[in-house]
Amino acid sequence: MLCRGTFQAGNVAIGDHNECYKRFFNSVSIGCRKSFVSSCSVGARSGPVLAVATNETTKTKQMAYEPSLADRLRLGTMSEDGMSYKEKFIVRCYEVGINKTVTVETIANLLQEVGCNHAQSVGFSTDGFATTHSMRKLHLIWVTARMYIEIYKYPAWSDVVEIETWCQSEGRIGTRRDWILKDCATGEVIGRATSKWLMMNQDTRRLQKVTDEVRDELELYFPKELRLAFPEENNGSLKKIAKLEDPAEYSKLGMVPRRADLDMNQHVNNVTYIGWVLESIPQEIIDTHELETITIDYRRECQHDDVVDSLTSVEPIEDADALESHGSNGSATAPKDVNKSFLHLLRLSSDGLEINRCRTEWRKKSART
């Protein structure tokens, strides 16, 4: 699921995310699954098949759907089995940063866009929050718990990128959305991403478990078997983020949300937090390195009148053997030319409450022609 909200930390032990997600809920087949028609097809077409499980039988209802102009122009299609969605994007000049390649914020925005388009393609709400009928009835929305992005090669202006995405259950308390990014010209995988989503009551702002009614609606569009963008054991998306302690080595204080940073729910868009995190990265790293991975745990909503501090420190290395091999002489951190991992903290300036914590890894910039 993909929306633009984050949630209040006080309602759940957010620090134990990984424990909450250790057990995956394998999707089950409910009724008859149908293939979906490409969202690019021109002219009238049938909408998605919506199936509702009953005691012993499954009823299906076919709804007529007239594609909009956006549907016809969008370069997106459902997979043959209807379990994933792919869309192509052309990199625009305004999406390119100082490295003459797209920024990580651009990538995060594209992930958000393809996720929303996927949700619309299967018949969920068109308001940007990917809610099902039961969710809207119960005033429930999706909120981001964690985002992990791994980038192997940054696209440049006019490159064409294809992004595939799919959703599935994760435990009884939420869902996950994964992405694969490819260079359309070569077919090369240039990035992967995964995210975790929890359900919140829009009125009380409290988290709650995914109900059976909502799960039945969602599972129609989940892969029949668990599919992960990061199937490797001990991959970076699973790593817990240690809290950055004061005093931080680098900081950017007193940042205020712009009007353009707010989403339709009057809260700061979750992509904006990534930009705030990177504001406190030292300039020498920006000049010589590029971001390889970013993990961000969302803990608290941020609103238009909040003032935010961004704190950054080099991440300590726990492996004593690695430290010794790099000649650190017992230092808690590795030499600057070895360790390019950082811990980050966004907090409210007024009371120091944690908005989110983040971890980034950086690699040396490659020579470009």
Annotated active-site positions, please?
A: 265, 267, 302
Using an 8 Å Cβ cutoff, are 165 and 177 in contact?
yes
| Coil, strand or helix at 213 | helix
Total Cβ atoms within 10 A of residue 47: 17
Q: Integer distance in angstroms from the first to the last C-alpha of the chain?
A: 39
Give every CB contact of residue 199 below 8 A, 6+ residues apart in sequence: 135, 140, 141, 142, 143, 173, 174, 207, 208, 209, 210, 214
Give the orientation angle of helix 270-278 with respect to helix 104-121, to 10 degrees: 170
Using an 8 Å Cβ cutoff, are 273 and 301 in contact?
no
- Find where tokens 């608290």 sit: 300
Nearest by Cα to 308 from 347, 363, 259, 343: 347
Nearest by Cα to 145 from 177, 167, 179: 177
Residues 219, 270, 15, 204, Cα dihedral to 10°: -70
**Omega before 155 cis (within 30°)?**
no
Query: What type of residue sits at position 212?
Result: D
Give every CB contact of residue 258 below 8 A, 6+ residues apart in sequence: none
**Both tokens of residue 341?**
């991992």
Q: What is the DSSP string of 298-332?
A: E-S--BTT--EEEEEEEPPP--HHHHHHTT-TT-S
Using an 8 Å Cβ cutoff, are 358 and 328 in contact?
no
Query: What type of residue sits at position 75?
Result: L
| Euclidean distance between CA atoms 33 and 81, whole angstroms | 8
